Amino acid sequence: MGVIPGHIKDEVVILGNHRDGRVLGATDPTSGTVSVHETIRGFGALLRKGWKPLRTIVFASWDGEEYGLIGSTEWGEDFADWINKHVVAYVNIDSSTSGSHLGASASPLLAHLLRQTAEEIPHPTSEGRTLWDARHDTGTLFGENLDPEVASMHQEELLAIDSIGVNALGSGSDYTVFLQYIGVPSTNGGFSSTLHDPVYHYHSVFDSQRWQEMYGDPGFYRHVAIAKHIGLQVLRLSGSIVLPFNTTHYSYELESYLDSVEAIASDASFDVDLSPLRNSIHHLQSVSFKLDTEKEGAERNLKKVLKKLKKQYARHRRFRRKLHEIICKVKTIFHKGEQCDSDGFHQREVKLANGKTITYSGGRIHDWAKEHEDSRGEEVVNNRHHHLGHRPPRALVKAIKRVQAVNKKLITFERGFISKEGIKDREWYKHLAVAPGKWLGYGATTFPGLTEALTFDRNTTTAVHEANRLKVVIDNIAETIRA
């Protein structure tokens, strides 16, 4: 694991990828690992330029993924309390590319972020298009002998997306423990093969570097595009004043999940009253609209306060510089031969205990010097430039607390779907809104307890019980995020 400490230490964004493969693993996971390494290299370049994220960033390389998500799951279970308290989002990349079609999956909280970042990145192989447009790419190999059933199944997969083109997350990669067990909003994506791409032999000896270079991604352009995509997601998550979580989109997705359940009940002629659950979802939508207004107001207010403080500081600095220039001239007149550096008034030298000297400008010591002192225990001496004081203005404190309150509500939204009892017959999965389907393998099932009570158990009593469980958690979420 690697860490970039942020200004906010108790809010963490994790970018993760597994490093173990079934056999050669040129696509799964090496293509994803390559993209993560390129992303880290990009963050290293930013750090060398003096950049520092607002939130702490953690890079994770998981082992044992192919044998049941062992590495990420054990780490998640061991540190569940810490993750629940500090981790705001998890960005996952498994395989960067095995074909031409861009797949995107996420918690509805992050669906807009996933799409917006993809729309800002150029298409890897086609000019004038964006990375997001690659969702419609289908390959170049067309023939006559295409099995209709296979084509139909493939089309169903492409249609299983939400209103903005992002799939729900089931399981099959390292985001599972974060989303399904703890309730951390997560994303996952990458290029996959279509019916008209060179055949990708998943989890086989043919997943070789030779195949990747010749057929999977000649020139490695898609690898680079995915590196940019996950990097931009992490930048936005770690650098946004207000977390880029869309609770309103999530609340409307919940209603679409309920629509699907009611269609199942209607087709099977089950008499189940789901109107109380729908009313709770409508209430959540209403509360979420108000939170959207508060999000915008809190961020706008903080920026306004910071802009005002910047102007005050600039006026203060210009006044002191002018005063110092006058004093310098007076000294020069009355004390001939004395040198007075008016340009260097705001230049300060800080001597560290190890003898090193740092020169910085302005009234506050450079962040690097502070971190240098904190991390190595070196005492900063000879620093007497205190004209700005140490206590932040009251308006700034108030504005920051307002933003913190909003972010806390946003963080608790996904956590609110976690139930200690878990989902019937597979209690480890604790997210009541989405889970891997009971018999779908990796595929996601929305409202899993309620859906499977009708499709598998065919029991209306169980269905009513599951609907009540959902109603309780949704009502609790609405109360928690009330602005």
> For the chain, what is the mean pLDDT?
88
pTM of the model: 0.85
Among 239, 256, 287, give the residue marking a domain's end: 239
**Which stretches of 104-207 are DSSP H helices?**
111-119, 148-159, 176
Q: What is the CATH number of the domain that holds 256?
A: 1.20.930.40
Instruction: Give the single-character DSSP code of 379.
Output: P
User: 271 and 192, same structural domain?
Assistant: no
Residues 72 and 201 in one domain: yes
Shared domain check, 223 and 254: no
What pairs with residue 139 in β-bridges? 196
In a domain, 321, yes or no: no
> How many domains is the chain built from?
2
What residues make up the domain containing 443? 247-298+395-482
Residue 348 lies in a domain: no
Percent of the chain scoring above 70 in pLDDT: 83
At 21-50, the pLDDT tens digits run 999 999 999 999 999 999 999 999 999 999
Q: What's the pLDDT at 310?
A: 82
Predicted pLDDT of residue 186: 99
- Residue carrying the six token digits 């609770």: 247
Q: Do 173 and 273 belong together in one domain? A: no
- 284 and 182 co-located in one domain: no
**Residue at a domain's end among 239, 263, 280:** 239
256 with 215, same domain: the answer is: no
CB of 192 closer than 8 Å to CB of 101: yes
Asked whether residue 253 falls in the same domain as residue 233, the answer is: no
Tens digit of each residue's pLDDT (9 = 90 or more) over 391-435? 678 899 999 999 999 999 999 999 999 999 999 999 999 999 999
Q: Does residue 442 lie in a domain region?
A: yes
Residues 235 and 253 in one domain: no
Domain contains 380: no
Are 260 and 215 in the same domain?
no
Does residue 73 form part of some domain?
A: yes
Q: Identify whether 322 is part of a domain.
A: no
CATH number at residue 38: 3.40.630.10
**Would you say residue 352 lies in a domain?**
no
HEC profile for 319-373? HHHHHHHHHHHHHHHHCCCCCCCCCCCCEEEEEECCCCEEEEECCCCCHHHHHHH
Whether residue 278 is found in the same domain as residue 145 = no
Q: What is the pLDDT of residue 329?
A: 61
Which residues are identified as catalytic?
65
Number of H helices, E strands in the chain: 14, 11
Within this chain, do residues 281 and 178 fall inside the same structural domain, yes or no? Answer: no
Question: Is residue 166 in some structural domain?
Answer: yes
Pair (100, 229) in one structural domain: yes
